[in-house]
Structure 1
Amino acid sequence: MAHVLITGSSDGLGLMAGRLLIAQGHSVTLHARNDKRAEQTRAAVPAAEDVLVADLGSLDGIRSLAAAANAAGRFDAVIHNAGLGYREPRRVETADGLSQLFTVNVLAPYLLTALMTRPDRLVYLSSGMARGGDPDLSDAQWAGRRWSGSQAYSDSKLFDVLLAFGVARRWPDVLSNSVEPGWVATKMGGRGAPDDLDQGPVTQAWLAVSDDKAALVTGRHFYHQQVRFVSAEAHDAAVQDALLDYCAELTGTAITGTTATTGTTGTTGTTTIHG
């Protein structure tokens, strides 16, 4: 039995993945952004081990989820499912002065990865729209450009692939992969989405717990349990490192190396998580 945390799992694919894993006999902790949604989630999935509450729209909220997750004990796998969609009509700024979409879609999985006790497996939810993403970080917060929700979303989903691959390279003892679940009829995908909704949660659940040889890999991008093509940029270590370094600068927390020690620099206050 695996101990699994799924972020953004009060509805949609996260909730479906949770139900699927519970049906397979695994211990699953879900996550909701507020108390009301958590209460609804507990009622919908009473077999869940717990429902953690945190709003991932701020760095403090992300840190609070990491602390709550660590207090719950080490997880064998984390599915980073939480995300905002491509229909955002305008740039929303967080209390940290950052793009809300970037914060939820990229900084949340990054910072949770850095701060949580290291699991055996990490699964990052991406999208087919990642193939239209741009890895350029010169205005990743959309402070200077005219806002485009679809492009900002595509960029964020490419960043999630870069995050998965970068962590796989820096932490070779962890299976770190990304998944595109397909364009399915969730609240984010819309009613007219053409892909099979029942298949939407299968691959991320499989990567989190399966002992199938095909699931015991790292630094791969999947669609329906098959390795899927992503741009050559996603495999470029320099591009991966640029994103990881950028996220470290924004959060004050860096993911580096493979040794299990932690330290704090005396000049910038940046916490460095070694392994």
Structure 2
Amino acid sequence: MTNTKELSVEEKLRAIYDLQLIDTRIDEIRNVRGELPLEVEDLEDEVAGLTTRSEKLKTDLEVIEDQIKAKKNAIDEHKESIKKYTKQQETVRNNREFNSLTKEVEFQELEIQLAEKQIKEMKATIEHKKEVISQSKERLELKSNHLKHKKAELEDILSETAKEETFLTDKSAEYRATIEDRLLAAYDRIRSSVRNGLAVVSIERGASAGSFFTIPPQTQVEIASRKKIITDEHSGRILVDSSLAEEEKEKMENLFSSF
């Protein structure tokens, strides 16, 4: 980026401090939202997961019920076979045929016993799955209600702050466009490395704001002269004098209140 106008050091200090005030206001707005967007996202994922699980459990139930029907149909077929083989035993011509039919009857009876055992097991599985479905339904309702509440809370916050945040974000971009690349890079680097996002601070009671380290008197004089950009040797933050800070705060407050 190439700026069309070369700013004086004082103009650079005012611009970078204004940018800091705007970005701090944006931070405050976003802090109001806090972890709420992530909470909503996590709840949405959880509700989707529970919904998918419930649907799968219901599908499993349908499959098992179909299997039970198939087993019952198989039992009916085995019973019909037993009737058929028993009837045939009445017309056999020798013991070998009779014994062969007897084995067929016994085999069909064993198949019936096995099918009945499997039906019993599948019915127990159905009861267990119904209990799990009931628990999942309760949990899904609970999480869905929680999600509804959190979404409403987030929407309220967004409706109150969205326009202001957009306005401030645009202003931040405007101010960034007036600041030279090297100074802007330093600002971004410092801002990203400190917890409160303050890359530019004023002198308060002989120390940089938020710091317990005293700024030497000679350095304070240099900062007040606004002839060069000076950073705090302890925190690395860009320093501005309190008078400049107050002037820019008042200007930015007017900007914020005009929205």
- The TM-score with structure 2 as length reference comes to 0.21
Please tell me whether Structure 1 or Structure 2 has the larger radius of gyration of its CA atoms.
2
Higher helix share: 2
Report 1 or 2 for greater relative contact order, CA contacts < 8 Å, sequence distance ≥ 6. 2
Higher strand share: 1
